[in-house]
Chain A
């Protein structure tokens, strides 16, 4: 192997229950380069980097650091190899101060070796923060900081380790333009110091600004590694999505105008997360809701479902104004929400398929004295298993033991049994294998054809484009536009999804 590589990973396999997350994945990093790692959600970028940092253990493959084969059995071993990672989801201890978080696990010791030298820690943090040109109070508790500031703490923490390899997993998702500029300034100075930087991001426009090379991943596999200067963003996108999954004939657009409006939302607002959002959803329609992470899509869905309290606005179902202050009320008027985190919010993992399917409908499946009519629940479950082609040995199988795709089908079966009219899907295919995705898409189309109304939140542009009859786009809590299936393309959606307040004001 060439001596000038910091990192070389080859043939990496990683399997999670129900999902082959990585398959023969490879990656290399030179000193003094910013290497962008891109791919759709679920392509395996974060998983690959977590294998490198010792958070996950690979099933197969080799890892070389500075030309030597290494094992990374735990995060500590990763640190010792000079690799540090800034995680997508913030991993800070909110009750501790900025300084305590930055030096967690590496506290400067006092006179006795088991004592923490808090003064030295605060001073080191102040120096570090000043050197990076950040504005952070070392003694402030992390829980009192804004999200962007917390992100800066993560970055400062990673940089304080003097690592030779720095991995950043979507570091800019929560940052404003000026904060991103600041981060890029820091990245450039690290590059000059000969460090290797891995930059995982969904914002392809950023890549051109900051990266030297790009590695594209798809479905857990390596697609290509190219010099950033030699390709266009379109090239990268086609490498990211270029799979055969979209070969099936595209959706049949419904003649939406003729269908009655089932759900209408007017001026819905909650804090900064959702601001003055209005839209209509018709019978038999799949309405795609697109936007970047943090645009307020899930927050909007939770407002409609009554999981959070709205500040203002109204919700109409079949033309009648309804009060939805609790998910139970939403369900009673036929609106349901299918969370992206099925395991936590969608399924009772320890219960069997039968009970999961009946979970939202027990009130309609009773016999005398309030006893559950198990004959009917079994029948309902059998019927759904058949209809939705849920692959399970029997309806007595525990939901935990099903694959991601079949778990999703069980959640859908639950709501179909409860006779819902409006289904709000939040990332319906997240964490689901490619083949199973196809089935979920097929199912969504069938549901729409049967007259159900679907609001589909998705971060995967190809998914949105392929499935939606109509697309609405959010950015920073506001609705920035609506597109018909015919006029929508990735570029138009991305333009709307990045239409920040500042930009909008400048153009209007």
Chain B
């Protein structure tokens, strides 16, 4: 009896509320834009929303791990760019198969994440500073390596086809690009890591009370670093995805994506104070951002104002998080 009451109480008070809040907000946004623009609920527009969500969503899932440890990763946007460039280098400049290009892209992101993790966990750099440095390093490297020119994939159109084609079409179903299923697969894996594995458990524990985790005999340093490795790896995946989608590695695209990704995680109920968050919430958060951007564009709201609105939404989401936590005492 008492246990059931406590559990219901805790569900009511904590993450679930914000999750439903976010889900509710998404539904309301969709209804609003459907009424506001006849074009919003068309298939081609929905496709655009899915594509836009995929890249930011993958970045956001990666940074969710880091934020739950009470850290931050500002480098994901430009690490994504660098990973895309490396994919381009391997596929076009070196002429290797695009499968190897994918591995190279993901490995680049993972390596950058490992450097972040080492700096933060091993050398005690503040996450904000370490990843801000990495943001600039990755941005610079991407420009240097690409010689400030986009790298296209003229020799291997299969690369673009693999992500932008639709296997569903073959079954006579709507032509949703394969890329979206990459996003879904990444989400499933991320959710699994966070909720089912020892690594996920320690990520929560570190964010909740790092000292307690260390005193429990957990090698907290190692697991904290792992969160940054995951974040980098997901940025690498996002780099491959965006290269395939644009059919080119654009060395100047990517800076600023980190803020959308962090915003998506926070809107989805991941607490910047650590210890709370979910992949499901982050996915919802990513959809909210892309639906909002898309809808406002359809309503002919200038891009500058779209950014203002996104900013307000983030502040609102964080404020709601603070109120919620204050009530928990």
A104 to B214, CA, bound (A): 10
A107 and B198 form a contact (CB under 8 A): yes
Instruction: Tell me which of A79, A93, A94 has the highest count of chain B C-beta atoms within 10 A of its own C-beta.
Output: A93
Tell me the residues in window 161-194 of chain B with beta carbons closer than 8 Å to chain A beta carbons: none
How many cross-chain pairs have Cβ atoms below 8 Å apart between A and B?
Answer: 85
A143 to B13, CA, bound (A): 11
* Cβ contacts under 8 Å, A76 to chain B: 217, 219
**Given A93-B213, A95-B275, is A144 in contact with B9 using a C-beta cutoff of 8 Å?**
yes
Tell me the residues in window 61-117 of chain A with beta carbons closer than 8 Å to chain B beta carbons: 75-76, 79, 87, 91-96, 100-101, 104-107, 109-110, 114-116
Q: Nearest A residue to B9 by beta-carbon distance?
A: A144
**Given A107-B198, A110-B196, is A141 in contact with B14 using a C-beta cutoff of 8 Å?**
yes
Instruction: Tell me which of B6, B14, B200, B216 has the highest count of chain A C-beta atoms within 10 A of its own C-beta.
Output: B216
Cβ-based interface call for A461 (8 A): no
Cβ-based interface call for A137 (8 A): yes
Taking the closest CB of chain A, its distance from the CB of B107, in whole angstroms, is 21
* Cβ contacts under 8 Å, B201 to chain A: 96, 100, 104, 107, 116
A140 to B3, CA, bound (A): 7
* Cβ contacts under 8 Å, B37 to chain A: none
Cβ-based interface call for B308 (8 A): no
* Cβ contacts under 8 Å, A91 to chain B: 209, 211-212, 215
* Cβ contacts under 8 Å, A141 to chain B: 10, 14
Cβ-based interface call for B298 (8 A): no
B215 and A95 form a contact (CB under 8 A): no
A457 to B214, CA, bound (A): 33
A137 and B205 form a contact (CB under 8 A): no
**Given A93-B208, A144-B9, is A105 in contact with B199 using a C-beta cutoff of 8 Å?**
no
Cβ-based interface call for B2 (8 A): yes
Cβ-based interface call for B258 (8 A): no
**Given A55-B215, A93-B213, is A114 in contact with B7 using a C-beta cutoff of 8 Å?**
no
Query: DSSP majority for the A interface?
Result: loop
**Given A91-B212, A95-B204, is A106 in contact with B7 using a C-beta cutoff of 8 Å?**
no
**Given A95-B276, A114-B199, A116-B198, is A104 in contact with B213 using a C-beta cutoff of 8 Å?**
yes
Taking the closest CB of chain A, its distance from the CB of B257, in whole angstroms, is 28
A172 to B275, CA, bound (A): 28
B213 and A144 form a contact (CB under 8 A): no
Cβ-based interface call for A139 (8 A): yes
Interface string of B1-17 (1 = CB under 8 A from A): 01100110110011000
Interface string of B123-155 (1 = CB under 8 A from A): 000000000000000000000000000000000
**Given A95-B275, A95-B276, A140-B10, is A105 in contact with B213 using a C-beta cutoff of 8 Å?**
yes
* Cβ contacts under 8 Å, B196 to chain A: 110, 115-116
A185 to B10, CA, bound (A): 31
Cβ-based interface call for B207 (8 A): yes
Taking the closest CB of chain B, its distance from the CB of A37, in whole angstroms, is 19
Cβ-based interface call for B42 (8 A): no
* Cβ contacts under 8 Å, A100 to chain B: 201, 205
For A137, give its contact among B2, B204, B212 (CB under 8 Å). Answer: B2
Q: Nearest A residue to B277 by beta-carbon distance?
A: A95
Taking the closest CB of chain B, its distance from the CB of A443, in whole angstroms, is 34
A93 and B212 form a contact (CB under 8 A): yes
Cβ-based interface call for B103 (8 A): no
A115 to B192, CA, bound (A): 9
A490 to B167, CA, bound (A): 83
* Cβ contacts under 8 Å, B9 to chain A: 144
Total chain A interface residues with beta-carbon distance under 8 A: 30
* Cβ contacts under 8 Å, B216 to chain A: 75, 104-106, 157
* Cβ contacts under 8 Å, A92 to chain B: 209, 212
A104 and B212 form a contact (CB under 8 A): yes
A115 and B3 form a contact (CB under 8 A): no
Q: Nearest A residue to B7 by beta-carbon distance?
A: A139
Instruction: Tell me which of B13, B215, B328 has the highest count of chain A C-beta atoms within 10 A of its own C-beta.
Output: B215
Tell me the residues in window 107-162 of chain A with beta carbons closer than 8 Å to chain B beta carbons: 107, 109-110, 114-116, 135, 137, 139-141, 143-144, 157
A114 to B211, CA, bound (A): 23
Q: Nearest A residue to B13 by beta-carbon distance?
A: A144
**Given A95-B276, A115-B198, A144-B9, is A75 in contact with B205 using a C-beta cutoff of 8 Å?**
no
For B208, give its contact among A79, A95, A115, A135 (CB under 8 Å). Answer: A95
Taking the closest CB of chain B, its distance from the CB of A87, in whole angstroms, is 7
Q: Nearest A residue to B214 by beta-carbon distance?
A: A75
B6 and A140 form a contact (CB under 8 A): yes
A139 to B14, CA, bound (A): 14
Taking the closest CB of chain A, its distance from the CB of B92, in whole angstroms, is 37
Q: Nearest B residue to A53 by beta-carbon distance?
A: B215
A104 to B3, CA, bound (A): 21
A76 to B222, CA, bound (A): 14
A104 and B198 form a contact (CB under 8 A): no
A422 to B206, CA, bound (A): 42
Taking the closest CB of chain A, its distance from the CB of B227, in whole angstroms, is 15
* Cβ contacts under 8 Å, B213 to chain A: 93, 104-105
* Cβ contacts under 8 Å, A106 to chain B: 216-217
Taking the closest CB of chain A, its distance from the CB of B324, in whole angstroms, is 12
Taking the closest CB of chain B, its distance from the CB of A344, in whole angstroms, is 15
* Cβ contacts under 8 Å, B211 to chain A: 91
A141 to B204, CA, bound (A): 13
A76 to B274, CA, bound (A): 24
B208 and A94 form a contact (CB under 8 A): yes
* Cβ contacts under 8 Å, B207 to chain A: 95
**Given A139-B3, A140-B10, is A75 in contact with B328 using a C-beta cutoff of 8 Å?**
no
B198 and A79 form a contact (CB under 8 A): no
Q: Nearest A residue to B210 by beta-carbon distance?
A: A93
Cβ-based interface call for B46 (8 A): no
Cβ-based interface call for B25 (8 A): no
For B218, give its contact among A105, A109, A135, A144 (CB under 8 Å). Answer: A105
For A114, give its contact among B197, B214, B276 (CB under 8 Å). Answer: B197
Q: Nearest B residue to A121 by beta-carbon distance?
A: B201
A87 to B216, CA, bound (A): 12
Interface string of B251-288 (1 = CB under 8 A from A): 00000000000000000000000011000000000000
B7 and A137 form a contact (CB under 8 A): yes
Q: List 6 A-B contacts (CB under 8 A).
A: A87-B215, A92-B212, A93-B208, A106-B217, A116-B200, A140-B3
Please list the 9 inter-chain residue pairs (A to B) with the smallest Cβ-Cβ separation, ordered nearest first. Answer: A93-B208, A95-B275, A137-B3, A105-B216, A95-B208, A91-B212, A76-B217, A105-B218, A104-B216
B contacts, CB < 8 Å to A: 2-3, 6-7, 9-10, 13-14, 196-201, 204-205, 207-209, 211-219, 275-276, 328
Known: A92-B212, A93-B275. 7 other contacts (CB 8 A): A93-B212, A95-B14, A101-B212, A135-B2, A140-B7, A141-B10, A144-B10
